Structure 1
Amino acid sequence: MSILRVATYNIHKGVQGMGPARRLEIHNLAHAVEQFDADIVCLQEVRRHHRKLEKQFTRWPDLDQAGYLSPEGYESVYRTNAITRHGEHGNALLSRWPVIDTRHSDVSDHRFEQRGLLHVQLLVEGKEVHVVVVHFGLIHASRERQVQRLGEYIGTAVPPGAPLVVAGDFNDWGAQLLRPMAALDLRTFEGIRLATYPSRLPLLHLDRIFVRGLRPVSAHVPHGRVWARMSDHLPLIAELEL
């Protein structure tokens, strides 16, 4: 039995707080990601650059955030979802295993929310494993259409028998996407509630890990003051049997 450890984390662009209280958390996030000891780390709201904040914070990393957060020996992959006035942000994947191929698919549902799928193909112990990192919209109807587009994408880009992980921030306040995801043969941990948002008082299970061709073994969400400071989300860490 081979166990694959997967984490998903919305890092809130590496910055927390508002106005004068705004603080840079990217350095603490780098230590946190290393502590996951995960084979695969799926990240949302990752910045490549931000001209205004780079000037505001003297300790802004020289590397893009995906590269900076990547532990030694890992490969990092980043693709942009949203272009903003001062920079851009998107999804990223950090992998202990070799990256074979990378693709990106735009699933924006309207012009006010730019969203995308990051698809990374990995070679894990000689077997091809596909991982799709998602960050769905804030409107339920948009999320339903994005699940439909996810299914269409998987149908054309992922072989039917290949192990598949779909992880990220689904913004699914009422767990209404579980049924349409199950219709795509994508399953998650059943019977346990893993609240990840808001990080200071987690009530909502917004971050999820779905699998096809793997067996969910265990999952947990770390808690505490340190975790509550780094992002508005908490990370979700799971072990999957390959």
Structure 2
Amino acid sequence: MEELSLAGADNGVAVGEAGACPWPLTAVTYNIHDAIGTDGRYAPERIAGVLAEIGADVIALQEVPLGGGGRASVLDLLREATGFHAAEGPTLDTPTRRFGNAVLSRYPVVGIRSIDLSFGSREPRGALDADISCHGHPLRVIATHLGLRPAERRHQIRLLLQEFDTDRMPVILMGDLNEWFVWGRPLRWLRAHFDAVPAPRTFPSRLPVFALDRLWISPRHHLVQVRVHATPLARIASDHLPLVAHISR
């Protein structure tokens, strides 16, 4: 795991006692598809509008343009629109283009790490691992986007599960898992580790068929509800719908 610097982070923010809970909380995972909607139009302001509709506390984003080569950073736009703290986890980082995962949080992000999930010659993949201080209580959020081939996803889930060997703070794993085999090994391994969670369909956004976007939490009993945000704006802003989780004591 690679430690990343966090620009503007207040390293003096306390993270509270081990085992303390930051609830209640609303969390969202959302693949924004380069901010290109189902009408083929690049419109990051629509993504900002969808996030405003939801009003979440912590947001995991995938397929986020992060700038480079004179391109605009969609994450910068969303940070300004929400007023949230932001952390980026590029999986593609070149002079001409930066692209990958991101986290937006109502609460301070006090540390971030990068987990490399790349597999052979396939497209680089990764996870953004962020520590968040919610009113002094610690929360760990991992945002990821897995690969397209079954062997690739199995490798990536094994790597991710190695990171969950601690109970010092609550953990939320969320992202686009690209896994549609309900009885495939990756989902079975995740259920065994985190327990079962609802998985409503999120893709494609106009008429969802597949539950590609997932959210897992430990401890599991804090998860109250999982739902899809399927407003008219959300159906056009991206080819995925946001998955929303309500978490409480």
Query: Does the pair score TM above 0.5?
Result: yes
Q: Given that residues 9 and 236 in structure 1 are in contact (C-alpha distance below 8 angstroms), is that contact kept between their aligned partners in structure 2?
A: yes
Change (3 A) 1:27 1:188: farther
Aligned pairs for 1:40-189 within 5 A: 40-49=58-67, 51=69, 54=71, 61=72, 64-70=73-79, 71-83=81-93, 86-155=96-165, 159-175=166-182, 176=184, 177-183=186-192, 185-189=193-197
Q: Residue 24 of structure 1: SS of its match in structure 2?
A: coil
Greater relative contact order structure (CA < 8 Å, 6+ sep): 2
Give the drift of 1:188. Answer: 4.6
Query: What is the match of residue 31 of structure 1?
Result: 49
**Residue 12 (structure 1) aligned to one of 28, 33, 39:** 33
- The gaps in structure 1 that reach 5 residues or longer are 55-60
Query: What is the match of residue 210 of structure 1?
Result: 216
Distance 2:196 2:77 in 1: 30
Query: What is the match of residue 24 of structure 2?
Result: 3
Give the drift of 1:22. Answer: 3.8
Q: Given that residues 5 and 39 in structure 1 are in contact (C-alpha distance below 8 angstroms), is that contact kept between their aligned partners in structure 2?
A: yes
Cα distance per residue 1:88-135 (max 9 Å; x no partner)? 211000001111111101111122211001000011132111000010
Aligned pairs for 1:189-204 within 5 A: 189-190=197-198, 193-204=199-210
Change (3 A) 1:72 1:234: closer
Q: Residue 148 of structure 1: SS of its match in structure 2?
A: helix
Change (3 A) 1:213 1:168: same
Q: Residue 150 of structure 1: SS of its match in structure 2?
A: helix
Give the drift of 1:153. Answer: 2.6
Q: Given that residues 108 and 116 in structure 1 are in contact (C-alpha distance below 8 angstroms), is that contact kept between their aligned partners in structure 2?
A: yes
Query: What is the match of residue 13 of structure 2?
Result: none
Give the drift of 1:10. Answer: 0.1
Q: TM-score when scaled to structure 2?
A: 0.83
- Supply the AA of the counterpart residue of 1:148: R
- Supply the AA of the counterpart residue of 2:212: L
Q: Residue 163 of structure 2: SS of its match in structure 1?
A: helix
Q: Given that residues 188 and 209 in structure 1 are in contact (C-alpha distance below 8 angstroms), is that contact kept between their aligned partners in structure 2?
A: no
Give the drift of 1:49. Answer: 1.9
Q: Given that residues 188 and 208 in structure 1 are in contact (C-alpha distance below 8 angstroms), is that contact kept between their aligned partners in structure 2?
A: no
**Residue 238 (structure 1) aligned to one of 236, 241, 245:** 245
Give the drift of 1:152. Answer: 1.6
Stretch deviating more after TM superposition (66-75 or 118-127): 66-75
Give the drift of 1:200. Answer: 1.3
Distance 1:221 1:122 in 2: 24
Q: Residue 25 of structure 2: SS of its match in structure 1?
A: strand
Change (3 A) 1:40 1:216: same
Q: Given that residues 170 and 207 in structure 1 are in contact (C-alpha distance below 8 angstroms), is that contact kept between their aligned partners in structure 2?
A: yes
Q: 4+ runs of 1 displaced by more than 6 Å?
A: none
Q: Given that residues 129 and 143 in structure 2 are in contact (C-alpha distance below 8 angstroms), is that contact kept between their aligned partners in structure 1?
A: yes
Distance 1:24 1:236 in 2: 21
- Supply the AA of the counterpart residue of 2:181: G
Percent sequence identity over aligned pairs = 30
